[in-house]
Structure 1
Amino acid sequence: MAATSSPGYVGNLSSDQEAKLRQIWSIILTLNDIPQPEFQDVTLENEEKRPRSIHRRSSSLTKTVSNTTNSNLPKDLDQTLLGLGINGSELKTVRDCLNQASIDEIRRSLLSTAKQDHPDSLLLRFIRARKWDVSKAFAMMLEALVWRVKEQHVDGMIVSNSELRALKEEQDKSNPAKAKAGSTFLAQMRMGKCYVHGTDRAGRPIGIVKARLHNPKAQSEEVIKRYILHIIESARLVLVPPVESVEYAPVKFLIDCFQANYPESLGVMLIHNAPWIFSGIWKIIKGWMDPVIVSKVDFTYTAADLEKHIAPEQLVKELGGKDQYEYKFIEPVEGENEKMADTVTRDALLSEREKIGEDLLKATAEWIKVAKEDDRDKIAAVKERRNDTIEQMRSNYWELDPYVRGRGHLDREGVIGVGGKISFYPTAESKIQATETKAVAVKYIASTQARVVDAQV
């Protein structure tokens, strides 16, 4: 990971960027009925003033959405969003989302999505993805949270649906459909279609995807989506489209994941040794993609090309580097998820997390309040207390993790260590420790990732 944060990231925000961050937190506080200062106190001082246009727009938009008012929505939410200049379609998106999921579900989804990540980092990804337009970022975030909890059921169907469960499904011949789903899911893990190993020159974990191993007919669309989300949730955004064949359904799903539901998580995508036919495919694919993501794609053909991004010591030998690592899937073992059966401890830790989440919202409201005051010492003290709460949330996640997440290959390989420590070159001792523990915490990789797609035919 880089020694210093890039501009626009936690630890390196301009005053305007920090104000934008407070704005989106202000909306979240309003959503959760947390008392806070008047909205005007957290707007940007140097932002262009538009009182007349906002007034006219607010009147018009309020009439537009009045017929779909949900009595469960906080009364001040509309005005907070309208004050930010939200347009009609974005406001409709917000209302649609809040009609699909309750505010409690949204709050729990936000806590779950954050995992051990700094919550400001999570929100900033949406803000950067929407070019610092806070109302657009909030609408995008809300859609992503509803997508997780209502459409894909990420926590219930993906995170807890472990590799060990897939192995048991594969072995249970009494249910042929489940056996096939489990078998084809694990087949992708075993062949090493996608794996995470090493870091690039910017310190970002490298995800290697062997597109030539993808056979569209070898698994159902449901299984490939399960595999994609399993990889994303296990290694936090590592997979890229299998581009050697014109199989657009999973590609569209991946692009939607990257752009809408896991924004600002791609550092660079290196497409290596792409065949000539890919040029036509690429013209279609990039039309679905945000120009910012397209700009992060680089085509490479030699080891020297790759080494512009990845040091030779971190580049695996199959791509012409010096790293002798070879991927080999480590099979799940009985008992590795035994803590997931302890629902009493799980529920206690989840309740603790809810309480920490409430404390964070209150601490954030205090931060927003003091930010308008010209008292650096007071602001620093409030920020420190808030950071302490965020650290409690991170610590809580490591305790909770083995009770809600099935172990994966990276756990068994020793890459993910106890307490979330990451080592792409684990010692024999750390591998033994990971095996004996049977329930180790997954490290959320906060930095965006580099990905290499080996597109050889």
Structure 2
Amino acid sequence: MTHNDIGHVDNLDKTQIETLKTCWITLLERISKESSISIDEITSSPEGDALFRSIGYDNPDIFMLRWLRARKWDVDGAVQQLIDTLNWRYERGIDKLLAKGENELLIEELMSGKAYFMGYDKMGRPINYIHVKDHIKDQFPIEATEKLGILSVETGQKLLKGSVETGTAILDMNGFGMNNMDYQLVKFFINLFESYYPESLGLALIIHSPLIFYSCWAIIKHWVDPVIQNKIHFLKHEEELFEFIDPSNLPKRLHGTHPDYKYIPPTTEDNTMLAAFRADKQGRKIVRAAHRKAAGHYLNVTLKWAHGDESETLLEERKQATKQLRDSFEEFVPYIHTRTHYHRMGLINEPIFDVAYEKLRHRNQMKIVQF
């Protein structure tokens, strides 16, 4: 799905726009503990912090619309699901996971090649390949595999380009056996996408399905929301993948031309950079304050818009506030995220890591000179 599809940010009717406005007001009323909405209180609260970290690089309206569409434009339902997600992110330690990145995962599982991103489909969606035979039930602690899955979803958001809002999943069932069937993990991922990352899946293609898997699917499909079921397609022949994906974006193991996945571990530079950013408490304080200020400005402008001000001046101010929010988050990223395999292979380009690191090194050198 893209920004131009019906019900998305660039294709909203008047009713949907008014619903979006109401959703913003309702969310802020829920987060604010005061009798009236307090922007300062919201941006300094755990919920407000989690909200804007979750939004990340995204346009906040695009983010909010995911929840509204998932709840069929029911404002109270959308706001409750979003509040539940913010609480889940805190309880699950998502920010801590993102701050440690792949260092928090098992290197053996990263190297297994059972799940990875590679290229884009013909609709411009990033592709997540899952080779089910490489997942052996109970080989790794389920908590570790869940962390791998969450970090993959978070990383996948950085792979979105242009107006594209969703990703594609390819489930390769070649070699599948019952030792690969992990119902507990399947339930976890279904709940993950339906509850905490709604409207993130655009297409799922299942290939090489043996007869034994269809009995498993007969159980699984009852756990899957009908909307998501409609995005899942079983392909009879591997060549059908070419209708959706250019061979250059298919790994050789699926008869494409792209080199097969091979995990690239963090470099010495990655680890040195990570340690430097985590030690820079003052720098973190500065960029965090700037991000909160940008979030507060965005919310102030958004409240004016939600309460009926649709002047060209206000709409332009809101557009600029959206950009300022994104820019401030980018400055914050090196202090709360890490580089990943996808940075090292060139699939994700976040120059802010290098830019911020050079600034930090320069500041430290100046301190030495002054001393």
Normalising by the residue count of structure 1, what TM-score does the alignment of the two structures yield? Answer: 0.68
Give the Cα–Cα distance (whole angstroms) in 1 for the partners of residues 357 and 186 of structure 2. 33
Q: Which runs of 5+ in 1 are unaligned?
A: 34-72, 78-100, 167-181, 372-377, 421-433, 441-457
The DSSP-based 3-state class of the residue aligned with 1:198 is strand
Give the Cα–Cα distance (whole angstroms) in 2 for the partners of residues 403 and 413 of structure 1. 21
Does 1:228 pair with 2:128? Answer: no
How is 1:145-156 mapped onto 2 (pairs within 5 angstroms)? Answer: 145-150=86-91, 152-156=92-96
Q: What is the letter of the counterpart of residue 99 of structure 2?
A: S
The DSSP-based 3-state class of the residue aligned with 1:263 is coil
Contact 2:115 2:129 survives alignment (8 Å): yes
The DSSP-based 3-state class of the residue aligned with 2:262 is coil
Query: Structure 2 residue aligned with 1:401, among 316, 333, 347?
Result: 333
Cα 1:419–1:398, aligned 2, differ >3 Å: closer, same or farther? farther
- Tell me by how many angstroms 1:312 deviates: 3.2
* 2:162 equivalent in structure 1: none
* 2:299 equivalent in structure 1: 361
How is 1:221-260 mapped onto 2 (pairs within 5 angstroms)? Answer: 221-236=142-157, 244=176, 245-260=180-195
Cα 1:242–1:406, aligned 2, differ >3 Å: closer, same or farther? farther
Contact 1:125 1:263 survives alignment (8 Å): yes
Cα 1:103–1:344, aligned 2, differ >3 Å: closer, same or farther? closer
Give the Cα–Cα distance (whole angstroms) in 2 for the partners of residues 252 and 242 of structure 1. 18
* 1:13 equivalent in structure 2: 12
Contact 1:241 1:251 survives alignment (8 Å): no
The DSSP-based 3-state class of the residue aligned with 1:197 is strand
| Per-residue CA distance 1:44-71 (angstroms, 9 max, x = gap) | xxxxxxxxxxxxxxxxxxxxxxxxxxxx
* 1:303 equivalent in structure 2: 238
Query: Structure 2 residue aligned with 1:392, among 274, 299, 324?
Result: 324
- Tell me by how many angstroms 1:238 deviates: 7.2
CA RMSD in angstroms, aligned pairs only: 2.7
Q: What is the letter of the counterpart of residue 230 of structure 2?
A: S
Contact 2:98 2:336 survives alignment (8 Å): yes
Give the Cα–Cα distance (whole angstroms) in 2 for the partners of residues 387 and 311 of structure 1. 36
Cα 1:397–1:240, aligned 2, differ >3 Å: closer, same or farther? farther
Contact 1:407 1:438 survives alignment (8 Å): no
Q: What is the letter of the counterpart of residue 65 of structure 2?
A: L
Contact 2:115 2:131 survives alignment (8 Å): yes
Give the Cα–Cα distance (whole angstroms) in 1 for the partners of residues 81 and 301 of structure 2. 24
Give the Cα–Cα distance (whole angstroms) in 1 for the partners of residues 88 and 127 of structure 2. 26
Normalising by the residue count of structure 2, what TM-score does the alignment of the two structures yield? Answer: 0.83
Q: Which runs of 5+ in 2 are unaligned?
A: 158-166, 359-371
* 2:99 equivalent in structure 1: 160
Cα 1:247–1:127, aligned 2, differ >3 Å: closer, same or farther? same
Cα 1:227–1:330, aligned 2, differ >3 Å: closer, same or farther? same
Q: What is the letter of the counterpart of residue 291 of structure 1?
A: P
Q: What is the letter of the counterpart of residue 306 of structure 1?
A: L
| Per-residue CA distance 1:1-57 (angstroms, 9 max, x = gap) | 96x621211122111111111110011232355xxxxxxxxxxxxxxxxxxxxxxxx
Contact 1:194 1:239 survives alignment (8 Å): no
Give the Cα–Cα distance (whole angstroms) in 2 for the partners of residues 103 and 132 of structure 1. 28
| Per-residue CA distance 1:162-215 (angstroms, 9 max, x = gap) | 32x35xxxxxxxxxxxxxxx5xx2112112111111111211111111111001
The DSSP-based 3-state class of the residue aligned with 1:218 is coil
- Tell me by how many angstroms 1:438 deviates: 9.8
How is 1:307-326 mapped onto 2 (pairs within 5 angstroms)? Answer: 307-321=242-256, 323-326=257-260
Q: What is the letter of the counterpart of residue 305 of structure 1?
A: E
**How many pairs were matched up?**
336
| Per-residue CA distance 1:257-281 (angstroms, 9 max, x = gap) | 1000000000001011111111111
Cα 1:394–1:413, aligned 2, differ >3 Å: closer, same or farther? same
Give the Cα–Cα distance (whole angstroms) in 1 for the partners of residues 144 and 217 of structure 2. 24
Q: What is the letter of the counterpart of residue 314 of structure 2?
A: V
Does 1:210 pair with 2:144? Answer: no
| Per-residue CA distance 1:203-240 (angstroms, 9 max, x = gap) | 11111111110011210111111111121122237778
Contact 1:240 1:254 survives alignment (8 Å): no
Give the Cα–Cα distance (whole angstroms) in 1 for the partners of residues 196 and 269 of structure 2. 32
Contact 1:232 1:239 survives alignment (8 Å): no
Contact 1:242 1:251 survives alignment (8 Å): no
Cα 1:258–1:380, aligned 2, differ >3 Å: closer, same or farther? same
Cα 1:12–1:419, aligned 2, differ >3 Å: closer, same or farther? farther
Identity %: 29
* 2:365 equivalent in structure 1: none
The DSSP-based 3-state class of the residue aligned with 1:25 is helix
The DSSP-based 3-state class of the residue aligned with 1:417 is coil
| Per-residue CA distance 1:398-426 (angstroms, 9 max, x = gap) | 21111111221011112111348xxxxxx
The DSSP-based 3-state class of the residue aligned with 2:45 is helix
Does 1:136 pair with 2:77? Answer: yes
How is 1:323-342 mapped onto 2 (pairs within 5 angstroms)? Answer: 323-336=257-270, 337=274, 338-342=276-280
- Tell me by how many angstroms 1:325 deviates: 2.6
Contact 1:214 1:242 survives alignment (8 Å): no
Cα 1:134–1:360, aligned 2, differ >3 Å: closer, same or farther? same
Give the Cα–Cα distance (whole angstroms) in 1 for the partners of residues 94 and 169 of structure 2. 16
Does 1:370 pair with 2:308? Answer: yes
Indicate the structure (1 or 2) with the bigger Cα radius of gyration: 1
* 1:271 equivalent in structure 2: 206
Q: What is the letter of the counterpart of residue 145 of structure 1?
A: L
